Structure 1
Amino acid sequence: MKKIDLVQKSCAVLIMMTLLGIFACKENKKVDTEDSESVETTEQIKEPFFKLSLAQWSINKMIRKDGVDPYSFAEKAKNWGFTGLEYVSQLYPADLENNEYSEAAMAAFVEKSNAEAKKHGMQNVLIMIDRQGNLAVNDEAERNEAVERHKKWVDAAAAMGCHAIRVNLNGSMVPEEWKASAIDGLTKLSSYAKTKNINVLVENHGGLSSNGEMHAEVMKAVNMDNCGTLPDFGNFCITRNEDWSCKEEYDKYKGVVELMPYAKAVSAKSNDFDENGDAIGIDYSKLLQTVKDAGYTGFIGVEYEGSILDEEAGIKATKDLMLRIAKELN
């Protein structure tokens, strides 16, 4: 009997060890699966190195041709997955231009814009200023008048919680004349903007402002911490033909490299897309790598200007492209 008991006990121990081994394997497999899922989830939720804003110019056709209320900008941007707003001054003609940008008109614009941004939980980033005079024109009196016209927009940006206004640097096509006038106009406007804690940003937007090297030289000469650049991926045409086709174009990749050291905002211009969802004529991988290498982590504004896709589809295609490229770069 004792021998039989011993055998039975030995069998029981073996069975127990086997069962424990099976449970241990199952448990290990469960942990491995959880770890794998955790890694996958981390990969999926990795954030891009930048924040997404929408340039209001992306819906300029909706506003100018279709009669869409420009104050619906915040709601649309929110619905399309953006967090920041980049306003365009010329898209409010009924309220602003037709009222000669009066103090009351400007106050109403600020109040309405702030209310919509707050309602939809959006951040006001900057205002793009057009039709307020040429800051780099040779005539000093005209240049000073342009500076004065821009001051009310500095005030509006401050009242809206924006960090900057975007200005154009139109003027002479003679390099030395343009640089001297640009330095003077920017220094005067930036000195005023500094008292309001607002940045003055110059976009490459035609003329000599689209020459990256000259543009950077102006920034270096102004040498103010609230005066910087807004590199645009697509606006490097210096001169145009009568049919508006580009006659002289600066190398966009070289230009963005030259402007990024002074950048306080970035504009992701797009027009058309190929079957893979890549922007035609603009290497987003190369440009976003340049932006990332510069250490930039602020807002990048989507600015769709195409004609094949409608504005909403073009905006979404640009945003999707940026997020895809950002994931690859990370």
Structure 2
Amino acid sequence: MKRRNFITKTSVAGVGLTLFGTYACKETKKVDGQETTDVQEAIETAPFFKLSLAQWSMHKMIMEDGVDPYSFAEKAKNWGFEGLEYVSQLYNPELSDANYSDEAMAAFVEKSNAEAQKHGLKNVLIMIDGQGNLAVSDETERNETVEKHKKWVDAAAAMGCHAIRVNLSGSNEPEEWKKNSVDGLTKLATYAKTKNINILVENHGGLSSNGALHAEVMEMVNMDNCGTLPDFGNFCMTRKPDSWDCLESYDKYKGVKELMPYAKAVSAKSNNFDAQGNDTGIDYVKMLQMVKDAGYTGYIGVEYEGTELGEEAGIIATKELLLKAAKEVV
């Protein structure tokens, strides 16, 4: 699959903002002979998580249709989300052409903060891609990758995010991959701890999509600011040569269950939907039950990646599916 002089800000949360809107007043009414209010009803029906939008859900709008990535907050607000999950590569070539200079990164932070504040949304995390291989066997290259990620840790801190998401690409040999991953993550998380930022690993292909190995790496790192970002659908470990078709997959339900004890974020991947609005390849009720059973109550990010619906329609369909499925978990 597909750090210096940053302008800081205090995240702005709208008073009374919930998944169901802003309440200017409380309307009292009777239900089954007892008085209740709209606010009480909203609280009772609210899901156990908060809704964020993964910017990758609109990557075609940005990369193919020329939509300004800085319109992210405005669009997410209009679609009914509370939190923003940025994707670093969607700000290229602006950032890559500037070689991720301090000035370019500061501009990214300032503009993103201004938009999030304007629309009353919370910056949640930044997903980092294209900054090197954290699990590569060459120690020099691995250390360079750690250094490249540090400016994204700084950006996340300046934006009021709680985390950055990283990838554990590199070696394909399990024991070597685990050793390299522990080294790269420990070095990066040690720096990130000074900034109060979490380093999160997503199941994102290769050995990172092996839930058992991924969980073992988390145990070996054993740092409170290093965790996972389980994605409901990214469990393809090997793809066919010169193709995106998956050759070897890990059981998605087993994988999410193995990663949830270390989760500090969750990604609700979706692709296509049936007539009832359910994802055709992922049982959302089953997934959300595992998320809830793990005691997770943070943000769940909508990440639509389907082809049958346009991105806006797919985003909304995924959000609605999450809310519907949340009512069925116990």
1:243, distance to aligned residue in structure 2 (A): 1.7
Give the equivalent residue in structure 1 for 2:139: 140
CA contact (8 A) 2:30 2:36 kept: no
Say if 1:118 and 1:31 are closer, same or farther in 2 by CA, change over 3 A: closer
Which amino acid in structure 1 is aligned with residue 132 of structure 2? G
Q: What is the distance in 2 between the residues matched to 1:288 and 1:98? A: 40
Q: Which amino acid aligns with 1:98?
A: D
For 1:120, give the aligned amino acid.
H
Q: Which runs of 5+ in 2 are unaligned?
A: 1-28
Residue 42 of structure 1 and its aligned partner are, at CA, apart by 2.7
- Is contact 1:90–1:130 with CA below 8 Å preserved after alignment? yes
How far apart, in 2, do the equivalents of 1:34 and 1:221 lie? 57
| Residue of structure 1 equivalent to 2:13 | none
Amino acid at match of 1:226: N
- Supply the AA of the counterpart residue of 1:163: H
Cα deviation code 1:110-134 (max 9, x no counterpart): 0000000000000000000000000
Q: Which amino acid aligns with 2:73?
A: A
CA RMSD of aligned residues (A): 1.7
Give me the whole-angstrom Cα distance separating, in 2, the residues matched to 1:109 and 1:281: 36
User: Match for residue 315 of structure 2?
Assistant: 315
- Match of 1:111? 110
Query: 2:61 — aligned with what?
Result: 62
Matched, 1:88 2:87: yes
Residues in 2 aligned to 1:31 and 1:240: alpha-carbon distance in whole angstroms: 58
On the 8 A contact 1:136/1:181 being kept in 2, the answer is yes
Q: Map residues 1-330 of structure 1 onto 2, 5 A cutoff.
A: 33-35=32-34, 42=41, 46-241=45-240, 242-329=242-329
Residues of 2 paired with 1:230 and 1:31: CA distance? 43
Tell me, yes or no, if the aligned pair for 1:190 and 1:226 is still in contact at 8 Å: yes
Structure number with larger C-alpha Rg = 1
TM-score by length of structure 2 reads: 0.88
CA 1:158–1:260: 2 relative to 1, 3 Å? same
SS in 2 for 1:276: coil
Percent identity over the alignment is: 73
- Relative to structure 1, is the Cα distance of residues 220 and 59 closer, same or farther in structure 2, using a 3 angstrom cutoff? same
Give the Å deviation of 1:45: 5.1
Structure 2 counterpart of 1:252, which letter? K
User: How far apart, in 2, do the equivalents of 1:32 and 1:283 lie?
Assistant: 33
1:98 alignment partner, SS class: coil
Q: Give 2:165's aligned amino acid.
A: R
2:86 match: secondary structure: strand
Give the drift of 1:244: 1.2
**One-letter identity of the residue aligned with 1:277:** G
Moved over 4 A (4+): 30-33, 36-41
Given that residues 95 and 109 in structure 1 are in contact (C-alpha distance below 8 angstroms), is that contact kept between their aligned partners in structure 2? no
**Consecutive unaligned residues in structure 1, runs of 5 or more:** 1-29
Residues 36-66 of structure 1 deviation map (CA, whole Å, 9 limit, x = unaligned) = 8769973785210000000000000000000
Letter in 2 for 1:112: K
2:136–2:180 CA contact under 8 A, matched in 1: yes
For residue 329 of structure 1, give the secondary structure of its aligned residue in structure 2: coil
Distance, in Å, in 1 between the alignment partners of 2:256 and 2:65 is 34
- For residues 31 and 72 of structure 1, the distance between their equivalents in structure 2, rounded to whole angstroms, comes to 42
Q: Which moved more, 1:42-51 or 1:98-107?
A: 42-51
C-alpha displacement of 1:32: 7.3
Q: What is the rounded CA distance, in whole Å, between the counterparts of 2:291 and 2:166 in structure 1? A: 21
**CA 1:184 to 1:275, structure 2 compared with 1: closer, same or farther past 3 Å?**
same
CA distance in 2, matches of 1:258, 1:32: 42
On the 8 A contact 1:229/1:260 being kept in 2, the answer is yes
TM-score by length of 1: 0.88
Partner deviation per Cα, 1:238-274 (whole Å, 9 max, x = no partner)? 0000221000000000000000000000000000000
Partner of 1:26: none
